């Protein structure tokens, strides 16, 4: 369960990914922030992990719906204020909860085996990335949907920025023509949880169809010249 929040390990050999992150002003959150690993006080740290444990339990008992700030506070034997101070707001709590899953995904595409990880040609990695994200997010859609309620956060959360810069990097390596950042945003939009969920749940599409759509999209957008 996601402890005090060590910034994730951007592996060696990904300098251009780092460049992208830099350009996206994501540094303070994503990279070791040289001087300030805002150490929690002992009791605070203890409470933090207890809160996350409790929250995780509540979440998979009653779904994200039952995950109310007060419920978490009570179940963790803590005042409501404490929850807010620690996580800022409900969205913050949700993001913290998802952080764990998110890291699994990140590990897969940053350092995992091909075709998702390095050692595969960029276009292939792009395809794999889409499929992985679709399945991953869909598996945890409850929480992701709840977290996405906050529209602005979607574009500024560390996890989102990492996905974005990863796409930028792959597109650049694939020598995709055009405005790379906008292309990446377009692709990211296709993977949006709420869109995928809507297409699956309300329009009856299968994940396979969505993956095929992704493949086609990548083929069209990442093709050279």
Partner DNA sequence: AGGGCAACCGGACCCTGGTCCGGATAGCGG
Partner DNA sequence: CCGCTATCCGGACCAGGGTCCGGTTGCCCT
Is residue 189 involved in binding a copy of itself (CB under 8 A)? Answer: yes
- Distance linking the first and last C-alpha atoms of the chain: 45
Least distance between DNA and beta carbon 5 (Å): 12
* CA–CA gap between residue 5 and residue 119 (Å, rounded): 29
- What does each C-alpha distance from 154 to 64, 70, 149, 194 come to in angstroms? 17, 24, 9, 11
- Token pair, residue 135, equals 């399945």
Q: Say what angle helices 42-62 and 90-111 make with each other, to 10 degrees.
A: 90
Is residue 40 involved in binding a copy of itself (CB under 8 A)? Answer: no
Q: Which does 198 bind (CB under 5 to 8 A by kind): a copy of itself, DNA, none?
A: a copy of itself
User: How many residues at the interface with a copy of itself, by CB under 8 A?
Assistant: 34
* CA–CA gap between residue 221 and residue 148 (Å, rounded): 26
- Phi, psi (5° rounding) for residue 89? -155, -175
* CA–CA gap between residue 104 and residue 37 (Å, rounded): 22
Q: Which of residues 120-179 bind a copy of itself (CB under 8 A)?
A: 145, 148-149, 151-152, 154-156, 177-179
- Token pair, residue 93, equals 């709590």
Q: Which is nearer to DNA, 147 or 210 (CB)?
A: 147
Is residue 89 involved in binding a copy of itself (CB under 8 A)? Answer: no
Q: Which does 186 bind (CB under 5 to 8 A by kind): DNA, a copy of itself, none?
A: a copy of itself
Q: Which is nearer to DNA, 68 or 194 (CB)?
A: 68
- Token pair, residue 206, equals 């299968």
Is residue 19 involved in binding a copy of itself (CB under 8 A)? Answer: no
**8 A C-beta contact, residue 191 and residue 133:** yes
Least distance between a copy of itself and beta carbon 60 (Å): 22
Least distance between DNA and beta carbon 43 (Å): 4
* Contact positions vs DNA (CB under 7 A): 40-44, 47, 67-70, 77-82, 84-86, 89-91
Interface residues toward a copy of itself, by CB under 8 A: 24, 145, 148-149, 151-152, 154-156, 177-179, 181-183, 185-186, 189-190, 192, 194-195, 198-199, 202-203, 209-210, 212-213, 216-217, 220-221
């Amino acid at each position: 369960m996601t402890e005090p929040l060590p910034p994730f390990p951007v592996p060696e050999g990904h300098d251009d990914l780092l460049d992208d992150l830099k350009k996206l002003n994501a540094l303070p959150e994503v990279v070791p922030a040289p001087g300030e690993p805002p150490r929690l006080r002992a009791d605070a740290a203890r409470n933090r992990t207890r809160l996350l444990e409790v929250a995780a339990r509540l979440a998979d008992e009653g779904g994200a719906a039952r995950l109310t700030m007060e419920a978490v506070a009570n179940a963790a034997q803590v005042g409501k204020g404490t929850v807010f101070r620690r996580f800022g707001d409900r969205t913050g709590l949700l993001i913290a909860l998802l952080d764990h899953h998110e890291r699994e995904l990140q590990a897969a595409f940053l350092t995992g085996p091909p075709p998702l990880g390095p050692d595969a040609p960029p276009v292939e990695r792009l395809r794999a990335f889409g499929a992985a994200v679709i399945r991953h997010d869909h598996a945890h859609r409850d929480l992701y949907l709840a977290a996405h309620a906050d529209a602005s956060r979607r574009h500024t959360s560390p996890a989102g920025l990492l996905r974005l810069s990863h796409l930028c990097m792959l597109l650049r390596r694939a020598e995709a023509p055009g405005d790379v950042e906008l292309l990446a945003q377009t692709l990211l939009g296709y993977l949006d949880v709420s869109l995928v969920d809507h297409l699956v749940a309300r329009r009856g599409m299968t994940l396979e169809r969505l993956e095929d759509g992704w493949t086609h999209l990548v083929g069209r957008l990442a093709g050279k010249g």
